Amino acid sequence: MSQASLSTPMVQGLKAFYQQGKPIRRCKIIGTMGPASSSEDMVRELMQAGLDIFRVNFSHGSHEDHAATIKTIRRVAKECGLYATILQDLQGPKIRCGKLLNGQLRLEKGARYHLQYGEVQTDPMVIPIDYRYLCKDIHVGEAVMMDDGLLLLRIESIENTHAVVRVEEGGVLKSRKGVNFPDSHLSVPPLTEKDNKDLLFGVTQHVDAIALSFVQTAKDVAQCKKIIQALGSDIPVIAKIEKLSAVQGIDEIASISDGLMVARGDLGVECRVERVPGFQRKIIEAAAKYSVPVIVATQMLESMVENPRATLAEVADVANAVLEGADCIMLSAEVAVGKYPVACVQKMVSIIEEVEGWVDTKTQRYEPFDRHAALWQTHTAIARAVCEAADNLHARAIVCLTLTGSIARLISSWRPKTPIIAISPRTDVIHRLGFMWGVHSMQNPLFYDTDVLLQDLPRLLKSLHVVQSGDVIVITAGIPINEMKSTNMIKINQIE
């Protein structure tokens, strides 16, 4: 081996390849940071349990709190020999009722109230709503849902400054609960003033992806990307699909986004809850079509917020998300405020490994050949060929030498049986690949040395105990590497 190749690169991120006898998990797990999960000790336990991506929810907390959390995650990840991906989730234009008299209001079925723009209730029959253009965007006969859909009201008339609504499904409304208008197309901007400030903060903190809430059209995603670009960054944008209009325009949104999230909570409020499973499948199919990662979120192990064990229905829900092709599945309150955050991650790992064991011998996504599809580009043909070669040769790994991560993302979208190792000199690319199904990444500062990476890579991986004698690896790269060529080469090596 050449002297240059003896310089050992970072092996951070390849922990799964060192666990002899354990399956290498493909589907990634996201956990939400909160009071139950933000301490250094808990972050370490969550990582060791298998949490891959840390969601920082900007609907709560200050910038100082979030900065401390991000710093802790990065430090603990390095200590654990892992790469932890950080997802910034913007609050978005969430509409809420104002501060109510006595903190709550009982809405009786059949009773009538006035909805009016405002922050504080002064009249018990007037419910303040913090949306300035309320009377402009709504229409008579449309539904109004409050507190995650638990309360249902119907619009009977609209005046200049208020709307009269009748309660169809009553209950107790508490201050600052969310308000949804599932039948209305609201003229809210995709980013609020708070979101713009949070976005700037996220860019300065080098978060790995930004989740854009309440996306209605592809233009919302384009506007967010434009702002990020103006801030001098290229951080990926994940579109949260939680409105009916977004489901209806899912192809356009998927084509411009860097990822999709099936945000089932608000989506279930915006439409009939029984439609959500069908929407979930439609969103996952759109993500596959455009080769972007997809996250399934909300109430996956909800009972474990309070209880140490998941219900059978929850286990089946997680299993179905894996079977349908999710790149990531997300824990929210279970990790943020729940009593058993580590047990939740462990249960998620157990379910994923079990399900991936079932499907390991089944037909993969790349098998069907669509004769009506557009002509492939070179990198698409290479990605499919790599999957077929690796799976048929029972390769130990597909190894992608990549500057931007694009070939690893494309190979991941074909869903090979073989695990993927992405090698890049860029830490930001390695973190971003954390969202991709089946991809494990390592940083290599020798990326630009063609001889080292292509001639000596098999021996280098063997010296790192990632592979052993007799293993087959399939390598992809763009050669010459030092000329930044797109991926144009496949090389098959048997480890000596």
| Omega cis (within 30) before 480 | yes
274 vs 296: CA distance, rounded Å: 16
Amino acid, res. 72: T
Compute the half-sphere exposure of residue 228: CA atoms within 13 Å on the CB side of its CA.
24
How would DSSP label each residue in 460-478? HHHHTTSS-TT-EEEEEE-
Q: Are strands 472-477 and 439-443 parallel, antiparallel or unpaired?
A: unpaired
Q: Which of 241, 199, 244, 207 is nearest to 223 (CA)?
A: 199
Helix (H) or strand (E) holding 286: helix 276-289
Q: How many C-beta atoms surround the C-beta of residue 363 within 10 A? A: 9
| 100 within 8 A of 121, measured Cβ to Cβ | yes
Q: How many residues does the chain have?
A: 496
Side chain identity at residue 486, one-letter code: S
Active site members: 55, 96, 240, 298
Contact of 23 with 322, CB cutoff 8 Å: no
Distance CA 32, CA 234 (A): 23
* Radius of gyration of the chain, Cα coordinates, nearest whole angstrom: 24
In sequence order, the β-bridge partners of residue 179 are 146
Per-residue tokens: 79: 């200590």
Q: CB 267: neighbour CB atoms within 10 A?
A: 25
Instruction: Report phi then psi at 55, rounded to 5.
Output: -90, 125
| Structure tokens that stand for 334 in this block | 């279970």
What is the rounded CA–CA span in Å between residue 38 and residue 20?
A: 31
> What's the CA angle centered on 153, arms 152 and 155, to 5 degrees?
150
Q: Can you tell me which residue has the tokens 């354990």? A: 22
Residue carrying the six token digits 């009201």 = 153
* Whole-number Cα distances in Å, 463 to 82, 156, 217, 332, 452: 19, 73, 50, 40, 14
Secondary structure letter of residue 300 according to DSSP: T
Residue listed under structure tokens 């219900």: 311
Taking the C-alpha atoms of residue 3 and residue 452, their distance in angstroms, rounded to an integer, is: 9
The backbone region for 460, taken as left when phi is positive above 0, alpha when psi lies in -120 to 50, beta otherwise, is alpha
